Amino acid sequence: MATIGILGGGQLARMLALAGAPLGHRFLVVDSAEDACAGQVAPLLRADWRDFEALQKFAEQVDVATFDFENVPAATAEWLTGHTRVFPNPAALAVAQDRLREKTLFGEVGLETPLFATVDSMDELRTAVARTGLPAVLKTRRLGYDGKGQFVLRQPSDIEAAWAALGGVPLILEAFVAFEKEISVVAVRSRSGEFRHYPLTRNWHRNGILSASLAPVTVDEGLQQRAVERAQALAERLDYVGVFALELFSFEGKLLGNEMAPRVHNSGHWTIEGAVCSQFENHVRAVLGLPLGDTAARGCSVMLNWVGELPDANPVLGEMGAHWHDYGKPPREGRKVGHTTVCADSAAGLVEPLQRLGRSLGRQDQVAPVIAALLGKE
Ligand code: AMP
């Protein structure tokens, strides 16, 4: 039995604890919020991440520390390495926290990206726009997630508004990619360097937040293999340990790297019921130095995110093959409060359950793009 410490007490920490418990492991979660939802399933140490006295107590009680949030201050992650084992390592976390370093690394391991340029002033923004063309997306280099800290520029007159909205912190401008599909590779690397990946997942976003995922999906076989090879190269370069996700855009026969999430990922939630060993269990196994579990899919799965507030649970509970996840969080606009995974033996078998759920939950808009993809009617 080991105790795994998790910095951050959101739904990812909660699902890690729920996955690790059957293996006999215990968890200790640190979060400054009294009502952090992982605290409903694991002991919660209420403390700020910069409170080193509290972190000392935390480190004394855990065998290994990991993260449920990638924006844990680098100083905290560094400090922890002097007091316990920390996975993924802080240097890998630091790269993934900075969009510029991340995209530069993508290039170094041979993963193409949208055209990008660093922006630290209004003049640099003008020069960058001349380089990428319009439309383009201005993003903060740090602390961005779920579409936060982003501004889409469509015409030259948007430059000033974009600068007014985001200027003052280091930024990156990216060419806007009119992608055909958004794809992610969720993968895991163990302490001994073993690497496994889940089948490719297709993702749909609404307002910058993940709305639905479908797995497994196939893209051109060569591309698929390249995506997985690049993911492995990234993990090796960073000496990464644990689960991570590589988010890609499929565009004109290429896969372009958008970002790497150094943690279990929303586009891997389907693996709880839809894979032999879930991303959460595999993360626990990886950080403890245990053999990794089988990442093969069991049939086909669709994950629907519940954002803002939960729909009625009963239609989901009454749908065979559907699984209900309530994170125990109060509703709030833009907040991920739960998800549902629908599993079937084949992609075709997902269509009817999704149609029924779309209707009964009043979420036709959310299921429509997935159904269109399943029916080949995009
Ligand atoms: P991110 O926080 O970078 O993952 O961005 C959130 C979402 O915004 C992505 O999943 C895309 O749907 C969209 N997005 C981000 N960057 C671009 C881009 N360069 N071109 C087109 N869409 C983008």
Q: Tell me, yes or no, whether 345 lies in a domain.
A: yes
Considering the domain boundaries, does residue 329 fall inside one?
yes
Domain boundary at 47, 67, 86, which? Answer: 86
Residue 230 and residue 228: Cα distance in Å, rounded? 5
Kindly state whether residues 146 and 75 are assigned to the same domain.
Answer: no
Q: Are residues 226 and 78 in the same domain?
A: no
Cβ–ligand 1 contact at 259 (below 6 Å): yes
166 and 150 in a common domain: yes
Shared domain for 163 and 276, answered yes or no, is no
Q: Which of 66, 86, 106 is the last residue of a domain?
A: 86
C-alpha 147 to ligand 1 mean position (Å) = 7
3-class secondary-structure state, position 263: coil
Among candidates 264, 328, 337, which has minimal Cα distance to 39?
328
* pLDDT tens per residue across all 378 residues of the chain: 999 999 999 999 999 999 999 999 999 999 999 999 999 999 999 999 899 999 999 999 999 999 998 888 888 999 999 999 999 999 999 999 999 999 999 999 999 999 999 999 999 999 999 999 999 999 999 986 666 789 999 999 999 999 999 988 999 999 999 999 999 999 999 999 999 999 999 999 999 899 999 999 998 888 999 999 999 999 999 999 999 999 999 999 999 999 999 999 999 999 999 999 999 999 999 999 999 999 999 999 999 999 999 999 999 999 999 999 999 999 999 999 999 999 999 999 999 999 999 999 999 999 999 999 999 999
DSSP-derived letter for residue 46 is E
CATH of residue 161: 3.30.1490.20
Residue 92 lies in a domain: no
Q: Using a 6 Å cutoff on CB, does residue 258 contact ligand 1?
A: yes
Residue 225 belongs to domain spanning? 181-375
Query: Which is the closest atom of ligand 1 to the Cα of 114?
Result: 19
Residues 6+ apart with CB under 8 A from 8: 29, 30, 31, 36, 38, 67, 68, 69, 72
**Residue 101 domain-assigned (yes or no):** no
Are residues 60 and 11 located together in one domain of the fold? yes
CB burial of 167-191 (b: ≥16 within 10 Å; e: otherwise) equals beeebbbbbbbebebbbbbbbbbbb
200 and 347 inside one domain: yes
Residue 55 sits in a domain whose CATH number is: 3.40.50.20
Identify whether residues 166 and 258 lie together within a single domain: no
